[in-house]
Amino acid sequence: MSLLQWERNEYIVTATIDRPPANALSSDLIREISCLLDELEQDDSVRVIVLKGEGRFFSAGADIKEFTSIPSGKEFSKLAKYGQDVFNRIETFPKPIVAAIHGAALGGGLELAMACHIRFVSDNAKLGLPELQLGLIPGFSGTQRLPKLVGEAKALEMLFSSEPISGSDAVKLGLANQAFPEEELFEETMKLAKKVAQKSPITVKAVLSLMSYTRNSQQSEGSDREAGYFGTVFESEDAKEGIQAFLEKRKPEFKGK
């Protein structure tokens, strides 16, 4: 069964993450996103992609249960690097990708959203990177993209507190473009998508290409370091405790080991 459903409306493709109950980002789901990008990049009739979640959430984070099956920090780093590569492809995709975020975009879900070109949110959505609460760190370039969007000080506050912010606050901080009541979110997102679809695909592609020049090599280098730390942290006792506590729905007891 596909974890990513999609449909076309003229020049616009709506891709829906459909992995109940929380739309957790498993490696299989990330792989399906990559395959969809392969298909849509070659289709000249597609001009805009809208990404949203089915059910209660956009995506409530990475698949923590999958983490328990990963045998080593080295393999954990490989998972991070694969996710980074797919998300980097979203960020540099030659067609606009607009995220419509409702419910929650947490952890890997927010990292996915940050890779999109534009983010519309419901005003009551929750956005955050709670990985430190589990004895882990973000692994899909979250430590690199978040400071560029909200500033280093606020990024550190969000990471260290592990507390999410609202959709309305995300707009104020620059993490999201606009916020709407949840029942209006998709309609408003489609309004923007239709405006973009009316533009010349040549000019849209040129703007996206030019935007990529504003990024320097530091993000690439920082993401590589993040993937390395992702694996190192995974092998700690605190990470094992954090993951187990999450699965057992209890507060973790970290010992700094």
Has residue 226 got a pLDDT over 80? no
> Do the domain assignments include residue 67?
yes
Q: What is the mean pLDDT of residues 35-49?
A: 96
Residue 1 — very low, low, confident or very high, per pLDDT cuts 50/70/90? low
> Do the domain assignments include residue 57?
yes
> Do the domain assignments include residue 14?
yes
Q: Which of the following is catalytic: 41, 111, 157, 187?
A: 111
Residue 206 — very low, low, confident or very high, per pLDDT cuts 50/70/90? confident
> Do the domain assignments include residue 163?
yes
Number of domains observed in the structure of the chain: 1
Instruction: Give the least confident one: 21-35, 171-185, 227-241.
Output: 227-241
The pTM score is: 0.87
Range(s) of the domain holding residue 14: 4-184
Has residue 217 got a pLDDT over 60? no
> Do the domain assignments include residue 52?
yes
Has residue 212 got a pLDDT over 80? no
- Specify the pLDDT at position 116: 97
- Averaged confidence pLDDT in the chain: 91
Enclosing H/E stretch for 121: strand 118-122
Is 131 assigned a catalytic role? yes
What CATH number does the domain containing 180 carry? 3.90.226.10
pLDDT tens per residue across span 111-167 = 999 999 999 999 999 999 999 999 999 999 999 999 999 999 999 999 999 999 999
- Specify the pLDDT at position 215: 60
> Do the domain assignments include residue 89?
yes
Q: Which of the following is catalytic: 32, 131, 157, 235?
A: 131
Has residue 219 got a pLDDT over 70? no
> Do the domain assignments include residue 61?
yes
Instruction: Give the least confident one: 26-30, 72-76, 224-228, 242-246.
Output: 224-228
Written as one string, the DSSP assignment of 68-110 is TT---HHHHHHHHHHHHHHHHHHHT-SS-EEEEE-SEEETHHH
Is 111 assigned a catalytic role? yes
Residue given tokens 């990963």 in the structure block: 70
* Distance of alpha carbon 73 from alpha carbon 76, whole angstroms: 5
> Do the domain assignments include residue 252?
no
In this predicted model, which residue has the larger pLDDT, 46 or 216?
Answer: 46
Q: CA 127, 150, 100, 204: dihedral to nearest 10 degrees?
A: -160
